[in-house]
Structure formats: structure tokens, C-alpha cells
Amino acid sequence: MNKPVLGLVLGGILGIFDGLSAWFTPAVRSQMMGIVIGSTVKGLIAGILIGYFARKVNSLALGIVFGLSVGLLLAYGVCMMQPGPNHYYFEIMLPGGIVGTIIGYATQRFGQQPRAIAD
């Protein structure tokens, strides 16, 4: 599987689990469906961005750092959208950073480079 597609698939799957981790925050359990959907979309966006980065830059260390950065940046954006005084930074950014790191590692390690077209 090529790197952007692997990132997209893995981002969607891990995004579901990212959203399900909200169960550990009792105050938001009533909003689980919206959180899971939002986290899945966030995972898809992170996956495609990290996959395209992995396609251009062939470095495991840079892929992991970029994945962590994208995961944290998207999670921070979600934190800032929370209404009221409780932004749940730790509860949102920790799983987001982990998802980004896993996608960064997987796309660099297991994704295939595009094939050259033979003349």
C-alpha cells in the first residue's frame, strides 16, 4: 500500500480509538458519538498529511516527529474549539499525539514508495 493511502486508512482506524478514549472523561460521555466522528475525521486528515510527507521525505525520525507534530497541532485545534472553561488539553492532546506518532512510524516503515514509470 502506498504511503498516503496507508496513512489515510490507519488514521481513520486510530481516529475511532482516539474518540473512544473520551469514555475516560466522564463529563463528556453524553457526547461520545460526535467525539468519535470528529476524532475519525481528525485522524483521516492527519493520516493523509503524514502519508504525503512520508512520500516526499524518506526518514523514520523525521516521519515520527512530523506525525507527532501534526497529531498535536490538530488536537490543539480541537481543544481550542471547546466551549466554556474546560478545554481538556491533556485528554485530547495525549491520544492525538500518540495517533500522529503511530501514523508517522507506520507510513515510513511499512508504506511503499511510488514506482518509477518505465519507458
pLDDT digits (tens, 9 = 90+) for 1-41: 899 999 999 999 999 999 999 999 888 899 999 999 999 99
Q: Where would I find the H helices in the chain?
A: 3-20, 32-56, 60-80, 89-110
| C-alpha cell, 88 | 481538556
The DSSP call for residue 81 is T
Amino acid 15: pLDDT: 95
Is 117 part of any domain? no
Amino acid 86: pLDDT: 79
Is 101 part of any domain? yes
Is 51 part of any domain? yes
Is 11 part of any domain? yes
Q: What is the mean pLDDT of the chain?
A: 92
Alpha carbon 4 to its chain centroid, in Å, reads 13
- What is the number of structural domains in the chain? 1
Backbone angles phi, psi at 2, to 5 degrees: -75, 165
Backbone angles phi, psi at 85, to 5 degrees: -80, -20
Confidence of residue 119 (pLDDT cuts 50, 70, 90): low
Is 118 part of any domain? no
Chain position carrying cell 516503515:
109
Flag whether pLDDT at 84 surpasses 70: yes
Is 15 part of any domain? yes
Is 115 part of any domain? no
Q: Is the Cβ–Cβ distance between 74 and 45 less than 8 Å?
A: yes
Range of the domain at 45: 3-109
End-to-end CA distance of the chain: 23
| pTM exceeds 0.85 | yes
Is 116 part of any domain? no
Amino acid 28: pLDDT: 87
